[in-house]
Structure 1
Amino acid sequence: MLFGLGIASSRPLPTRTFVSLTGPEGNIGDALIRRETLRWALGTSDELVVYTGASPGSWLRQLGVPEDATALRSKRSVPKWLWMLATAPARPVLVFEAGEVPLHKGNALRELVFLMETILVRLKRGVVVRPPRGIRAPTHPSLWLHARAARLSQIALWRDGTSAALVSGTDVVPDIGFAVLTSAPGVSGERNELIVSMRGARPMPSAAWVRAVRATADAEGLRIRTVVQVREDEARARELAQALGGEFDPWGSTDPVTQEAKLRERYLHARLVISDRMHVLVLAAIDGAVPAELAPNPTEKIANAFATVRIHDITLDALQADAGRMQEFLQAQLDRSAFIAEQIGAARQRLAEVEQQMRATIQAARR
């Protein structure tokens, strides 16, 4: 059995669900996984309470938060969130946000609060849901507190085996972003572009990297385009377009909802997408492009998350390869496009099963 069930009871509704959905509106990947987290929370109770922290009002629209939800939109609202949790009717549901969990030094107090929230919900015979998450920069005591809270949660999911092992977790499932549907089902237009989207905070790729990408595009007859999925990467996208002789799609003053739609349209026309951002590659793969991480000193984040969906060897360290080796790597990704599409479909199905089991757990706790 994937999840433990809560304590059965015949007590009727009303019920209340709490869901955390913080994040910057300038990061479409964060919006993607927060939106899916919200979708998991919808329909689980009579009342929905959403905490978005310091995010602007446009973030609510970006995620599709229902108008009848109670939205707590500033860090000053934390006491109200805790009060509503403490005074909630029996059997509340608490849904933490999916994504990366930083456990570096200084996060111990926050993790202690999350542990107390978890204990409170369990004492009220409710259900705690932790959607697929990955751990970053684990340190003590933050890691110890996080592990205790995860063990007390009926549903605690991990998007990679490394994160699960850190807290002795057992339920490794695909990143929640893989649950997203393609933006144009049944549409099979011409894929004639090679798209690049790289982090602006990391070093500019080398001249050999540029040669490899250009050579791949030339060999496959693809146009090169750079796009922006995170606002802070816009300057880097402009630099790469110039270096690669490609077209540059700015974000500029476009609102995030429109920007996301534009990006998804681009991915529908791409054969290959190169990035060192995980959810650039997830979205690209969902929309039928071949994902590849070709970057200097890549972290294990992308490789681990894609390994969970049985897609291995998706990453190459550009500092450890010459232009010829990098081009071979990119060609190898293109050669397995059908396999990648098959695994993406299987990941989506797996997440649908997980969501069904989550909802069954909540229903069983309220009988």
Structure 2
Amino acid sequence: MHDVFIHPSGQDDNLGDSALRAGLLRAVGRNTYRFHVHLEGQTSDYLAGIPLSGSDVVYETQREWATALSETARPIYLLNAGEVNPRPGHSFPGAGRIREMRRTRDRDGVVIAAGIGLKTPSTADSVDFDRTLRETDVMSWRDDVSRDAAGFGDSAPDWAFHLGSQPSAWAPPDERTLLAVTLRFDRPWPGDPWLTAVRDVASRTGTRVATVAQVARDAPRAVQLADALGGEYLVAASTRHDDLDSHVRSVYSRSLAVVSDRAHALIMGATEGAYPLGSATDPNKIRRLLDIAGVGSLTGDHANFGPRAAGLDSELPALPRAIDSARLQLQALTQRIQTAIEAHDA
């Protein structure tokens, strides 16, 4: 039994944060792995989205988790996946993570950093990336821009692409009756031209607008959007992340496309066969996360949403191949992780 140490924390009400960590844990495996997890401060809603089993160990405090790491022979250390925001002029990772990674090395363990992305790649030149990160057994970024800015490691799509339905099970485009829409609560209202363009897409494709909220704080914005677009806000049965995941995937599986500035709404939509129409005040982050999977061509700012969305019909046929390709990249990354672990077993 391999002992895997990870602290898969994220924003407590953000389904995307638990989904990408769930993708990582499910990819690493289950049969011979026991996860040692520290999730201090996370609510039961968030925990419901993290796939743990009866053999896994959940620690109430960071101190208990770190003690177990230091007492385990040949541990496997997984750096938490997701967005990171190292400060210019400072070291990354922080001192605590560096100590944990060095402790793993001291115990003849394996250090894996797979699926992290820089919030602001343009500042990477002024960040001191510690040698513990550069010398991990596997180092993979979740977008090409982060990899190029850091100057080391490889890249593969976000772990959330690992989840979702198989393209062979998707409903065909002509049976999809919804146009899913969800926007961040903390960005400016997109304005009348954008609303008109979204209504035009729904009219042209014979779909009806359905709004959802993958982040609890987005719910008031989803209600506003439904009213402004003449659509319907579809609310989940609860805020538990497993319930919310099932709910939004059900909506996306019936949607021709997803219109959003939430990266993981677009990714999860794509993995259920709904083409990602990324639209944001600043689309750089979501474009990076979609481009590596080959589904970012219709993503941009709010102002040019209409002209971009006109290309939906021509892009739809390529979506199944793109998702298959993204998952093959993640399978290759998973194999690299397993190979690194097996090499330490030899």
Q: After superposition, what is the alpha-carbon deviation per residue over 1:30-79, rounded to whole angstroms, capped at 9, x for unaligned?
A: 11111122224444866431111311234333212112211024xxx112
Q: Which moved more, 1:157-166 or 1:247-256?
A: 247-256
1:142/1:16 CA distance change after superposition, 3 Å: farther
1:21/1:249 CA distance change after superposition, 3 Å: same
| Equivalent residue for 2:15, pick from 28, 35, 42 | 28
Q: Letter of the aligned partner of 2:204 in structure 1?
A: A
CA contact (8 A) 1:267 1:288 kept: yes
- Alpha-carbon offset, residue 16 of structure 1: 2.3
Q: What is residue 250 of structure 1 aligned with on the other side? A: 235
Q: Letter of the aligned partner of 2:127 in structure 1?
A: L
Q: Letter of the aligned partner of 2:164 in structure 1?
A: L
Q: After superposition, what is the alpha-carbon deviation per residue over 1:263-284, rounded to whole angstroms, capped at 9, x for unaligned?
A: 1111011011100011100111
CA contact (8 A) 1:290 1:334 kept: no
Q: After superposition, what is the alpha-carbon deviation per residue over 1:290-344, rounded to whole angstroms, capped at 9, x for unaligned?
A: 111122x22411111122123342322124x4xxxx3221121332111122111
- Alpha-carbon offset, residue 221 of structure 1: 1.1
Q: What is residue 329 of structure 2 aligned with on the other side? A: 350
Asked if residue 19 in structure 1 is aligned to residue 6 in structure 2, the reply is yes
- Alpha-carbon offset, residue 165 of structure 1: 2.4
Q: Letter of the aligned partner of 1:339 in structure 2?
A: A
> SS state of the match for residue 190, structure 2?
coil
1:52/1:150 CA distance change after superposition, 3 Å: same
Q: What is residue 107 of structure 2 aligned with on the other side? A: 124
> SS state of the match for residue 97, structure 1?
coil
CA contact (8 A) 1:309 1:344 kept: yes
> SS state of the match for residue 48, structure 2?
helix
Spell out the pairing of 1:259-338 with structure 2 (5 A cutoff). 259-295=244-280, 297-319=281-303, 321=304, 326-338=305-317
> SS state of the match for residue 132, structure 1?
strand
- Alpha-carbon offset, residue 23 of structure 1: 2.0
Give the Cα–Cα distance (whole angstroms) in 2 for the partners of residues 127 and 292 of structure 1: 39
Give the Cα–Cα distance (whole angstroms) in 1 for the partners of residues 160 and 258 of structure 2: 17
Give the structure with higher Rg (CA): 1
| Equivalent residue for 1:204, pick from 166, 189, 199 | 189
Asked if residue 38 in structure 1 is aligned to residue 25 in structure 2, the reply is yes
Q: Letter of the aligned partner of 2:322 in structure 1?
A: Q
1:206/1:260 CA distance change after superposition, 3 Å: same
> SS state of the match for residue 127, structure 2?
helix
Gaps of 5+ in 2: none
Asked if residue 95 in structure 1 is aligned to residue 78 in structure 2, the reply is yes
Q: Which moved more, 1:156-165 or 1:44-53?
A: 44-53
Aligned residue pairs total 343
CA contact (8 A) 1:234 1:251 kept: no
Gaps of 5+ in 1: 1-13
Give the Cα–Cα distance (whole angstroms) in 2 for the partners of residues 187 and 209 of structure 1: 29
> SS state of the match for residue 63, structure 1?
coil
Q: Letter of the aligned partner of 1:290 in structure 2?
A: Y
| Equivalent residue for 1:151, pick from 131, 134, 141 | 134
- Alpha-carbon offset, residue 238 of structure 1: 0.6
Asked if residue 365 in structure 1 is aligned to residue 344 in structure 2, the reply is yes
RMSD over aligned CA atoms reads 2.5
Give the Cα–Cα distance (whole angstroms) in 2 for the partners of residues 109 and 187 of structure 1: 41
1:67/1:105 CA distance change after superposition, 3 Å: farther
Q: What is residue 65 of structure 2 aligned with on the other side? A: 81
> SS state of the match for residue 336, structure 1?
helix
1:105/1:70 CA distance change after superposition, 3 Å: farther
CA contact (8 A) 2:45 2:239 kept: no
- Alpha-carbon offset, residue 185 of structure 1: 5.6
1:15/1:160 CA distance change after superposition, 3 Å: closer
Give the Cα–Cα distance (whole angstroms) in 2 for the partners of residues 329 and 251 of structure 1: 30
Asked if residue 231 in structure 1 is aligned to residue 216 in structure 2, the reply is yes
- Alpha-carbon offset, residue 346 of structure 1: 0.7
Asked if residue 70 in structure 1 is aligned to residue 57 in structure 2, the reply is yes
Q: What is residue 5 of structure 1 aligned with on the other side? A: none
Q: What is residue 4 of structure 1 aligned with on the other side? A: none
Asked if residue 341 in structure 1 is aligned to residue 288 in structure 2, the reply is no
| Equivalent residue for 2:46, pick from 59, 76, 94 | 59
CA contact (8 A) 2:27 2:162 kept: no
- Alpha-carbon offset, residue 102 of structure 1: 2.0
Q: Letter of the aligned partner of 2:284 in structure 1?
A: E
Give the Cα–Cα distance (whole angstroms) in 2 for the partners of residues 234 and 58 of structure 1: 16
